[in-house]
Each structure stands twice: as C-alpha cells, then as structure tokens.
Amino acid sequence: MRAVVQRVSQADVRVDGALEGQIGEGLLILVCAMAGDPSDAPEKLAAKTAKLRIFRDDEGRMNRSLLDTRGDALVVSQFTLAADTRRGNRPGFSSAAAPEEGHARYLQFISAMEDLGVPVETGVFGADMSVSLVNDGPITIWLDTES
C-alpha cells in the first residue's frame, strides 16, 4: 500500500459539493492499495502512519505522533498514487489493486486506524472528490509498505 500523508491544520472532502468528511489538526492521508499487497499491509501502514513523529513537541521539534497529539485523520482513497510514468506522458495504473480489493484494503486501513484510537473521517471510495486542506509546515511524506 502507498500513502501520501500531509500534516494539516484543517482538511475536508466533498462529493458533488456535499461535505463528506472534515477534520481540524491532524493528518490528511491519501491511500492506495497496490496489486499484490499482503493481507496485513493496511495494518502495517496504519501503524506507521499513526506513529509517524511529524508533529511539534514543546520545543518545536517534530517529535510527536498523531497518537501523541490525539489528532484526527481524514482518509481519502486515491488510486492515482499507483501511477507509472516511466513510459511516455500518459500514466498507467495497472499496479493499483482491482477496485474490489482496493475498497476492501481501504476499509481495512480505516478500521486499523480506528483500532489504534485515531478518530477517522473519510471520503467516498471511487467517487470524484474535492479535497481542501491547509498543509501545516508544509509537511508531506510518502509511505510505501514495500520499502
């Protein structure tokens, strides 16, 4: 699985103009299931994400995790993280998991985050969404369970 994690002061996701999910301080997590992901990939990615020390401590250093700060997570599915741009200018997405598997892994990731005690808001899997955010830092990190 892959994720782009952004530390935010606020973020929301809308579908057809309707608000689906909204958070204050926390993480916006764009997540993509990859073909061939092991069954435990969502749990591993959730644990890494929730424990990632990218929030400021009392001295201003990035030393606290989402769990430490009791921040929220906005989890949005994004199959385009599987883009392969090595050949030409049109990205290929064949390395993304099939929609059924991708949806299952997305739900598994959300459940794993909640099991860790993280309050989670979500987008709508497979929908055309509008995501707004205020990136705090800016801090943006790429995570991949393969590496």
pLDDT tens figures, 75-132: 999 999 999 999 889 999 999 999 999 999 999 999 999 999 999 999 999 999 999 9
User: What are the structural domains, with CATH classification, of the chain?
Assistant: 2-144 (3.50.80.10)
Task: Please indicate whether residue 125 is annotated as part of the active site.
Answer: no
Contacts of 38 (CB under 8 A, 6+ apart): 145
Kindly name the residue from 78, 108, 122, 145 that is annotated as catalytic.
78
Q: Does residue 122 carry a catalytic annotation? A: no
Asked if residues 27 and 70 have their Cβ atoms less than 8 Å apart, the reply is no
For 36-48, give the DSSP string: T--TTHHHHHHHH
The whole-number pLDDT of residue 88 equals 87
Half-sphere exposure of 10 (CA within 13 A, CB side): 2
Q: Is 93 a catalytic residue?
A: no
pTM metric for this prediction: 0.95
- First-to-last alpha carbon distance for the chain, in angstroms, is 10
* pLDDT over threshold 70, residue 147: no
